[in-house]
Amino acid sequence: MAKESPAEAQERIETLKTLLNRYSYEYYVLDKPSISDKEYDQQYQELERLEKTHPELITTDSPTQRIGGTILPGFTKVQHDSPMLSLGNAFNQEELLQFHQRISKLTDQPLQYICELKIDGLAVSLKYENGLFIQGATRGDGNTGEDITQNLRTVKAIPLRLNEPLTFEVRGECYMPKASFVQLNTDRDEKGLEIFANPRNAAAGSLRQLDSSVAASRNLSIYLYSATNFEQLVVETQDALLNRLAQVGLRTNPERRLFDSIEEVWAFTEEIAAKRKELPYDIDGIVIKVNAFAAQEEIGYTVKAPRWAIAYKFKAEEAETIVRDIEWT
């Protein structure tokens, strides 16, 4: 017979879920833990015990529900509500200048640029309903992706519940931090398993697992960078959107900068190229976007990419062999 009444258990479970989800947010989203792993584990084990005694009180946003109990037979297809666009590329200063000149002709609005690090991972879509994480999918071919909700639920940097009861879709890059990549390859090498060529392939291979306990073991993380139906978020620029996403509990990359000239953008690409090796995650360039949404709409889109954004790509590392990326879009 459980020592607490269902009502007492319910109240304690709610308290523990709120506390544990907050600790997880501090540790994995802010990279600033406020309690020790030991304290976290003690409260996590208390929650597990209470949920075991009162299974009817288990909810989808409980941290104990991040690893699904079943191994999926396959991935179902997901039709994206709006296409997950690709990006045009620029490979040198001249092409960056041409991008600026091209779009300057398409709007009279003053062009302010936001520069974001181009995280080298896998583009994913996360759907939230009334603040609850309900579906995650790969980009796929841009229109149709694969449902990898079970695996994305194991990514601790993805909150199972937002700070606000929002219903919307956010998109970002799921990636494997360099340290996790080195550890994974060391472990695999010791077991005589084939190692991954780079963190992007390791992340793709992890999200492709049908057994979510394998994905859970890969220490993946994520940075979010766009949202659909952001009207409810009341933001008018990309920078304000990123601040708003952070406000509701989502992880955004802090290295972003605003510039009023393409010359400053170029200088930034050189600054980041110089410190790329020190970053704890792989980047393959800088994504440059027109910051104001009104100007983005005026400049518009080509068939498959926004005209108001471009990816400035760094030269591939000489040492790195050019590997075939895992063909799993």
Ligand X SMILES: NC(=O)c1cnc(OC2CCCC2)nc1N
Cβ distance 92 to 306 under 8 Å?
no
* CA nearest to 161, candidates 235, 66, 80, 91: 66
Answer for which of 226, 237, 269, 291 binds ligand X (CB under 6 A) is 226
Cβ distance 314 to 273 under 8 Å?
yes
Answer for which of 58, 85, 235, 246 binds ligand X (CB under 6 A) is 85
Site for ligand X contains 235 (CB under 6 A) = no
Report the residue number, 115 or 262, with the smaller CB distance to ligand X. 115
Report the residue number, 68 or 306, with the smaller CB distance to ligand X. 306
Answer for which of 28, 40, 133, 225 binds ligand X (CB under 6 A) is 225
Identify residues 40-69 at the interface with ligand X (CB under 6 A). Answer: none
Answer for which of 96, 224, 309, 310 binds ligand X (CB under 6 A) is 309
Task: Give the whole-angstrom CA distance, residue 165 versus residue 87.
Answer: 31
Report the residue number, 160 or 174, with the smaller CB distance to ligand X. 174
Calculate ∠ Cα 89-224-169, nearest 5°: 105
Report the residue number, 35 or 85, with the smaller CB distance to ligand X. 85
Report the residue number, 85 or 106, with the smaller CB distance to ligand X. 85
Residue 80: partners with Cβ closer than 8 Å, 6 or more residues away: 125, 137, 140, 142, 143, 144, 145
CA distances from 325 to 151, 198, 201, 224, 322 (A): 20, 9, 6, 22, 9
Six token digits for residue 22: 């907050």
Site for ligand X contains 87 (CB under 6 A) = yes
Helix (H) or strand (E) segment spanning residue 184: helix 178-190
Backbone phi and psi for residue 257, each to the nearest 5 degrees, phi listed first? -140, 150
Least CB distance from residue 260 to ligand X, whole Å? 20
Site for ligand X contains 173 (CB under 6 A) = yes
Cβ distance 181 to 199 under 8 Å?
yes
**Catalytic residue selected from 3, 105, 118, 313:** 118
Least CB distance from residue 166 to ligand X, whole Å? 19
Edge-to-edge order in the sheet of strand 309-313: 89-90, 309-313, 283-290, 113-119, 257-259
Report the residue number, 119 or 299, with the smaller CB distance to ligand X. 119
Site for ligand X contains 139 (CB under 6 A) = no
Answer for which of 118, 156, 161, 251 binds ligand X (CB under 6 A) is 118
Task: Give the whole-angstrom CA distance, residue 202 versus residue 121.
Answer: 9
Answer for which of 16, 103, 114, 119 binds ligand X (CB under 6 A) is 119
Identify residues 274-303 at the interface with ligand X (CB under 6 A). Answer: 287
Report the residue number, 51 or 116, with the smaller CB distance to ligand X. 116
Site for ligand X contains 166 (CB under 6 A) = no
CA distances from 173 to 78, 132, 206 (A): 18, 20, 14
| Stretch of 113-121, 125-133, 150-158, 190-198 lying at the interface with ligand X (CB under 6 A) | 113-121
Cβ distance 210 to 149 under 8 Å?
no
Task: Give the whole-angstrom CA distance, residue 78 versus residue 303.
Answer: 21
Site for ligand X contains 13 (CB under 6 A) = no
Site for ligand X contains 116 (CB under 6 A) = yes
125 DSSP β-pair partners: 137, 171
Q: Is 258 helix (H, G, I), strand (E, B) or coil?
A: strand
| Stretch of 112-120, 148-156, 270-278, 315-323 lying at the interface with ligand X (CB under 6 A) | 112-120
- How many positions of this chain bind ligand X (CB under 6 A)? 11
Site for ligand X contains 306 (CB under 6 A) = yes
Cβ distance 146 to 138 under 8 Å?
yes
DSSP state of 28: I
178 an active-site residue? no
Which residue ranges make up the site for ligand X (CB under 6 A)?
Answer: 85, 87, 116, 118-119, 173, 225-226, 287, 306, 309
| Catalytic residue ranges | 118
